[in-house]
Chain A
Amino acid sequence: MYSYEQEIVERDENTVHMNVGPSHPSMHGTLRIKMEVKGERIVKTEQEIGFLHTGFEKLGEHRSYNQFITLTDRLNYFSPLSNNIGFALACEELLGITVPRRCQVIRTILAEMSRLADHSLCLGAMTMDLGAFSSILWTFVEREKLYDVFEAVTGTRLTTSYTRVGGLAFDLPADFVKRVTAILDSMENTIDNLRKSFYQNRIFLDRVEGIGCISREMAMSYGITGPMGRASGLDYDLRKFRPYLIYNELKFDVPVYKDGDTLSRYKVRIDEMEQSIKLVRQAMKLLEPGPINFQDQKRTLPDKTSTYGDMESLIHHFKLVMPGEDHGIHPPVTDQYSATEAPNGELGWHIVSDGSSNPYRVRIRGCSFINYPILSRLLDGAMLADLVAILGSFNIIAGELDR
């Protein structure tokens, strides 16, 4: 039987054992850290995870490819669309199909919009943890506006499940471009406000400058990607490494900082938001009418209206959706690692297919799971107050961490 007293067996005279989390406001969900502190100095830490373990990988082996998309919503629940798009792209790479142009443009726009939503919440929450309350209200307002658009596009705010293998669930609403343009303008204003309030702010800078430094070598050894890696000088971005969707047609920069401290991680996210706004603006100009689904009804779900309207589509829908030996999508018998640049880094999918309608194995390389372990190393010898600053800049999402 679990007992907290049993964990503290060897107690050093001069140190105090402290427990933070799993339900602590600054622990972002369900993280737990056991610490040994000497005064305000942290001597030793141990991270404990697994409180939100849901068994997505085991469940995935018993779900069809399209059913698994609903589970991907629950991974990084700050940016569910990124996960939907990543998994759909991984399946399409396995099947060897390329989605139509309009679908690629829509996916690019939505991936960048979810990056904006994810980063804005991370920036707001991080500064709130450090005592600045107004900024989370500013960023939350922006995120709400984005979520309103996600709701208009996908029908839900959080559990979007918008993509399908080989396309999308449905097309964009009519006023999409107008609504998004209005949001981007106010978003730019908010980014400007964030810069003005924090870049010269002594109270903020004292808490983050030179705190929690990750070197480029450390980042490579731990496999840290995304904004955290780029804050440490690791210039690795999958949108540039091997451009997917329409990223090779768009002009954007990838911000890279050298210091690797908490402030750099904050700055990288702000700069990335600016680039995402640029990307969405460019991609919206490329929106042209056209089909949104790959035209092969043996592998892609037919349009909902034609499923209800004509016999052939209904048969194909039935064959793809209903359980059965020869039903569903049948990828070749092989395995494949594919990855996309999610807001937190490289979101990888190692899919092993046995030729049946369910994946044989889905490995989710969650960015949070790979980015999180370095925390204990950064906390060795740090001050207790640094914990919230460093952890806030990591943007650890428990859904993706524990899977």
Chain B
Amino acid sequence: MITYNPENHLKVIAQVEARMGERLLGREEKSHYHQFKVKGQDAKDLIRFLREEPSLAFAMFIDLTAVDYLRYPIAQPERFAVVYTLLSPELGVKAQVKAFVPDGDPRLPSITDLFAGANWTEREVWDLYGIEFMGHPDLKRILMPDDYEGHPLRKDYPLKGRGERGNFPVYHASTQRPKGEG
């Protein structure tokens, strides 16, 4: 049974700090894991290291998501952050990588070749935040309709939408559908 082992945190921190050096923007201790902050282009390097370094072996994918810091009270390095959560079954610890992505050019390398679970989650982040994952095999919308415009989880996207609700084509039972449809 995989159990939580807080002593192994120090091992992870030492390894990550030695590997990333200057490129590590910061580290934060959370309730039961540590969060490593890096720039978007360094994220994949760090995740590959966490996964492939035999003494760490973060082989299990837990989650991938994003945060839009547009209206956050504390200044952040960039507007967007992509947050990866991983688990090391051998060490019994979780680790989180927070990769900051700039507003003007929201792109970072995809980790679908490292973790199969990243496929849908990256599509979700693309769909809801408009952050592009370079090298993703099939980056298209997943939750919103294919012809949807905009990225609804961005902070500058209004809660009530931009009138999309009224613009969906509606068929009534009495109307004749055009030929070749439905």
Number of A-B contacts (CB under 8 A): 129
Q: Which residues of A contact B72 (CB under 8 A)?
A: 352, 354, 360
Known contacts A236-B60, A337-B30: A49-B143 contact under CB 8 Å: yes
Contact: B89 with A222, CB < 8 Å?
no
CA distance A402 to B120 in the complex (A): 12
Among listed B7-15, B18-26, B41-49, B61-69, interface-contacting one = B61-69
Known contacts A241-B4, A242-B32, A365-B63: A333-B116 contact under CB 8 Å: no
Q: Which residues of A contact B73 (CB under 8 A)?
A: 333, 354-355
Contact: B182 with A337, CB < 8 Å?
no
A373 at the B interface (CB under 8 A):
yes
- Interface residues contributed by chain B, number (CB under 8 Å): 49
Q: Which residues of B contact A57 (CB under 8 A)?
A: 128, 153
CB-based nearest B residue for A236: B2
CA distance A112 to B22 in the complex (A): 47
- Interface residues contributed by chain A, number (CB under 8 Å): 53
> 0/1 per residue, B86-99, Cβ < 8 Å to A?
01010010101000
Known contacts A348-B63, A365-B63, A373-B116: A220-B89 contact under CB 8 Å: yes
Q: How far is the CB of A4 from chain B (nearest CB, A)?
A: 7
Contact: A242 with B4, CB < 8 Å?
yes
CA distance A346 to B144 in the complex (A): 24
A311 at the B interface (CB under 8 A):
no
Contact of B83 among A1, A59, A234, A350 (CB under 8 A): A350
Q: Which residues of B contact A352 (CB under 8 A)?
A: 67, 72
Contact: A369 with B182, CB < 8 Å?
no
The main secondary structure of chain B at its interface with chain A is loop
A93 at the B interface (CB under 8 A):
yes
> 0/1 per residue, A160-175, Cβ < 8 Å to B?
0000000000000000
Q: Which residues of A contact B142 (CB under 8 A)?
A: 49-50
B159 at the A interface (CB under 8 A):
yes
A305 at the B interface (CB under 8 A):
no
Contact: B159 with A350, CB < 8 Å?
no
Contact of B59 among A55, A220, A224 (CB under 8 A): A220
CA distance A350 to B58 in the complex (A): 19
* B positions within 8 Å CB-CB of A: 1-4, 30-33, 35, 59-63, 65, 67-68, 71-74, 83, 85, 87, 89, 92, 94, 96, 115-117, 119-121, 124, 128, 141-145, 152-153, 159, 169, 178, 180-182
| Shortest beta-carbon contacts, A-B, top 10 | A223-B61, A223-B117, A242-B4, A50-B143, A220-B60, A363-B65, A53-B143, A222-B117, A221-B116, A365-B63
15 contacts between A and B (CB under 8 A): A53-B144, A58-B152, A62-B159, A221-B59, A222-B61, A241-B1, A242-B32, A335-B67, A337-B94, A350-B63, A352-B67, A352-B72, A354-B71, A365-B65, A402-B143
